Amino acid sequence: MSDEARILLVDQSRGALLFQETLLRRRESVVSTAMTASEALARAISEQPKLIIFGYDLFDMTGPEFCREVRANEHTRTVSLLLVGERSAPEQVDLCMAAGCNDFVFRPLDRRELDAKIDKLTNIPVRRQLRTITRIEVSLEKNGRFIVGRSLNVSANGMLLEVEKSLSGEGVVRVHFYLPGDPIPLNVEAEVLRAEFAGSTPKYGIRFMTIADPERERIEAFVQRLRSREHL
């Protein structure tokens, strides 16, 4: 991980900040801290961290208020947000996720779980695959719930989607869609790599996980066709 993977820790407890700094000490990250939401917002604007790890109570704001402030500011709206919540208060997670948080962990912090969450939220791979801007109606299935969305762009490795409701929690989603002009549906397992909350509609970058070669080739051929038309 490079120095660009700057992490900002926010908590009203100095002890909690010291403990989190200890857990992050062996990572190749630049770590800074703040004890209030207003201080954290100022640091986020000036330091441009990739990830903010924050507690629910931040002296001058609650976690959801903090999330909304981060998402409303053009300089910070794309930063990843990780809530450190209390297992006894799961409603904190729901409120923060609805306000634009990307993910959560519970106290007491587990080093391996925290590392996995940080890796997921800071090491988002650069998409080098050929992709094209296109609108495709998509149905996302998770834990028996279906959410309707539409693609903003698509490649053989994934999509950028805008959806009607925020996705909460972690885990695999199943994506159902038809390529225009192709009568055979695609049903692909995917993971959410990043979330964007600029504007009124949440957007999620997803990566296809279990996709067979014939399905990948169908998407690649579709992208190639659209790209060729774009350059006519």
Model pLDDT for residues 2-48, shown as the tens digit of each residue: 445 899 999 999 999 999 998 888 787 899 999 999 999 999 999 99
Instruction: Indicate the pLDDT class of residue 61, thresholds 50, 70 and 90.
Output: very high
- The number of helices, as runs of H, and strands, as runs of E, in the chain is 6, 12
Domain check: are 114 and 147 in the same one?
no
Whole-angstrom CA distances from 182 to 89, 145, 162, 186 are 47, 26, 22, 10
Domain check: are 104 and 64 in the same one?
yes
Domain that holds residue 91: 7-122
Domain check: are 16 and 113 in the same one?
yes
User: What is d(CA 180, CA 183) in angstroms, rounded to the nearest whole number?
Assistant: 8
The pLDDT of residue 126? 42
Domain for residue 146, yes or no? yes
- Residue 118 scores a pLDDT above 70: yes
The domain that contains 203 carries what CATH number? Answer: 2.40.10.220
The pLDDT of residue 41? 97
Domain check: are 138 and 212 in the same one?
yes
Domain check: are 137 and 98 in the same one?
no
Q: What percent of the chain has pLDDT over 70?
A: 88
The pLDDT of residue 5? 80
Last residue of a domain, one of 104, 122, 140: 122
SS3 of residue 141 by DSSP: strand
Domain check: are 43 and 118 in the same one?
yes
User: What is d(CA 34, CA 56) in angstroms, rounded to the nearest whole number?
Assistant: 13
Domain check: are 35 and 92 in the same one?
yes
Among the ranges given (40-49, 154-163, 181-190), the one the predictor scored with the smallest mean pLDDT = 154-163
Domain check: are 114 and 180 in the same one?
no
Domain check: are 139 and 114 in the same one?
no
The domain that contains 110 carries what CATH number? Answer: 3.40.50.2300
Instruction: Indicate the pLDDT class of residue 72, thresholds 50, 70 and 90.
Output: confident
Domain check: are 108 and 52 in the same one?
yes
- Residue 127 scores a pLDDT above 60: no
Q: Where are the beta strands (DSSP E) in the chain?
A: 7-10, 31-34, 51-55, 80-86, 103-107, 131-133, 137-142, 145-155, 158-163, 173-177, 186-196, 203-210
Find, among 171, 176, 203, 198, the residue nearest to 187 by Cα: 176
Domain check: are 115 and 211 in the same one?
no
Domain check: are 19 and 61 in the same one?
yes
Instruction: Indicate the pLDDT class of residue 58, thresholds 50, 70 and 90.
Output: very high
Domain for residue 199, yes or no? yes
Residue 231's H or E segment, with its range, is none
Mention every residue, 6+ apart, whose C-beta is less than 8 A from residue 202: 100, 162, 163, 165, 166, 167, 195, 196
Instruction: Indicate the pLDDT class of residue 229, thresholds 50, 70 and 90.
Output: low
Work out how many domains the chain is built from and give that number: 2
- Residue 52 scores a pLDDT above 90: yes
Domain for residue 2, yes or no? no
Going 136 to 163 to 71 to 51, the CA torsion angle's sign is negative
Region 121-144: mean pLDDT is: 73
Region 120-147: mean pLDDT is: 74
User: What is d(CA 129, CA 156) in angstroms, rounded to the nearest whole number?
Assistant: 7
Domain for residue 204, yes or no? yes
How far is C-alpha 104 from the geometric centre of its chain's CA atoms?
11
User: What is d(CA 115, CA 215) in angstroms, rounded to the nearest whole number?
Assistant: 33
